[in-house]
């Protein structure tokens, strides 16, 4: 069994409170009394400060298989550093050039069950550890709203509400978290015209707004599978870059090729191979750069 498979399956089976969809609730929304739709206070030169915070239960995330278990944290963190370095280089190049949607990355897969949500959480956590970035994880999976349900904010206004209502400021529905530099934008109220909303000029305005209010923001869109919904195909047309998660030894090669056909040939596309077989021998070496017994920071 691969490292990621063990990370996904390690702690399943423990009992916990569930959401209405039968999933473990891993987040608690703490309200500070600000009304929905109210724009957060913004000091000159400072990024907006969310008025509502999600307390994320990282132990529950591990139990759900969405973060690695404690004994594999260092190894998985190292793997996600390797994933994010070239991604960051391209992001920073686009952001420096002020390219439209340059600050956005869409996380997708060809079909369901590829480990996209695992990748979304771990990439978001890894990017949030950067010293000069703030990350907004957007639940753009309109049909499923998986991340919103997991975090216990499925009933909160979000992206779809902002797209439907031009008077609603996107900043007012962004939620802070107790993870430094990580914010969340819920999916919002489910609607049958999500595809049309994602393809609208309003969507482009919202994406631009997310970058204008904070020049150090990276926006990650967690999307539905490319071959399952039209929402994903439309979202790929407005994202600055697309990362496609492929599950090793499971995803049919024709499905991957078909999914890639739905993407703009001129848009940067990366592939993350998930659940690859790896013997883990690198973890048997002493932590590089630290003497035996010397403390190290596994969360960089």
Domain harbouring 265, CATH code: 3.40.50.300
Assess if residue 12 is contained within a domain.
no
Buried b / exposed e along 61-87 (16+ C-beta atoms within 10 A): bbbbbbbbbeebebbbbbbbeebbeeb
Reading the block at residue 96, the tokens are 């420096």
pLDDT recorded at residue 264: 86
Query: Left, alpha or beta for 183 (phi > 0: left; psi -120 to 50: alpha)?
Result: beta
Q: What is the pTM of this model?
A: 0.82
Assess if residue 8 is contained within a domain.
no
pLDDT recorded at residue 48: 83
Assess if residue 299 is contained within a domain.
no
Q: Taking Cα atoms as reference points, which of 196, 130, 211 lies closest to residue 163? A: 196
Identify whether the C-beta of residue 110 lies closer than 8 Å to the C-beta of residue 131. Answer: no
Assess if residue 127 is contained within a domain.
yes
Assess if residue 39 is contained within a domain.
no
Domain that holds residue 270: 73-280
Reading the block at residue 237, the tokens are 């047309």
Sequential pLDDT tens for the chain (300 residues)? 444 444 334 433 333 334 444 555 688 888 654 555 556 655 555 778 898 999 999 999 898 888 888 888 898 899 999 999 999 999 989 988 888 889 999 999 999 989 899 999 999 999 999 999 999 999 999 999 999 999 999 999 999 999 999 999 999 999 999 999 999 999 999 999 999 999 999 999 999 999 988 889 999 999 999 999 999 999 999 999 999 999 888 889 999 999 999 998 888 899 998 876 554 444 443 443 334 334 334 333
Assess if residue 23 is contained within a domain.
no
Assess if residue 89 is contained within a domain.
yes
Assess if residue 152 is contained within a domain.
yes
pLDDT recorded at residue 46: 73
Count: domains in the chain: 1
pLDDT recorded at residue 291: 40
3-class SS of residue 247:
strand
């Amino acid at each position: 069994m691969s490292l990621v498979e063990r990370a996904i399956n390690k702690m399943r089976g423990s009992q916990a409170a569930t959401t209405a969809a039968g999933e473990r609730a891993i987040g608690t929304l703490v309200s500070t009394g600000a009304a929905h739709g109210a724009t957060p206070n913004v000091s000159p030169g400072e990024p907006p400060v969310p008025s509502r915070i999600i307390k994320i239960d990282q132990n529950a995330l591990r139990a759900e298989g969405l973060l690695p278990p404690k004994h594999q944290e260092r190894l998985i963190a190292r793997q996600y550093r390797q994933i994010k370095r070239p991604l960051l280089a391209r992001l920073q190049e686009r952001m420096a050039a002020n390219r439209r949607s340059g600050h956005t990355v869409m996380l997708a897969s060809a079909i369901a069950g590829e480990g996209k949500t695992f990748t979304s959480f771990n990439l978001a956590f890894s990017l949030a550890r950067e010293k000069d970035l703030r990350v907004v994880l957007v639940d753009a999976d309109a049909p499923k709203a998986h991340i919103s349900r997991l975090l216990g904010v499925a009933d909160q206004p979000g992206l779809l509400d902002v797209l439907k209502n031009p008077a609603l400021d996107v900043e007012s529905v962004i939620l802070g978290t107790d993870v430094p530099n990580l914010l969340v934008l819920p999916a919002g109220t489910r609607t049958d015209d999500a595809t049309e909303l994602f393809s609208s000029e309003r969507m482009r305005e919202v994406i631009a707004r997310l970058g204008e209010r904070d020049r150090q923001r990276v926006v990650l869109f967690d999307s539905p599978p490319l071959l399952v919904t039209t929402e994903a195909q439309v979202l790929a047309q407005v994202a600055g870059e697309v990362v496609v998660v492929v599950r090793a030894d499971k995803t049919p090669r024709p499905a991957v090729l078909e999914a890639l056909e739905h993407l703009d040939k001129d848009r940067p596309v990366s592939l993350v191979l998930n659940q690859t077989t790896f013997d883990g021998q690198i973890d048997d070496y002493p932590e590089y750069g630290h003497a035996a017994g010397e403390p190290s920071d596994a969360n960089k």
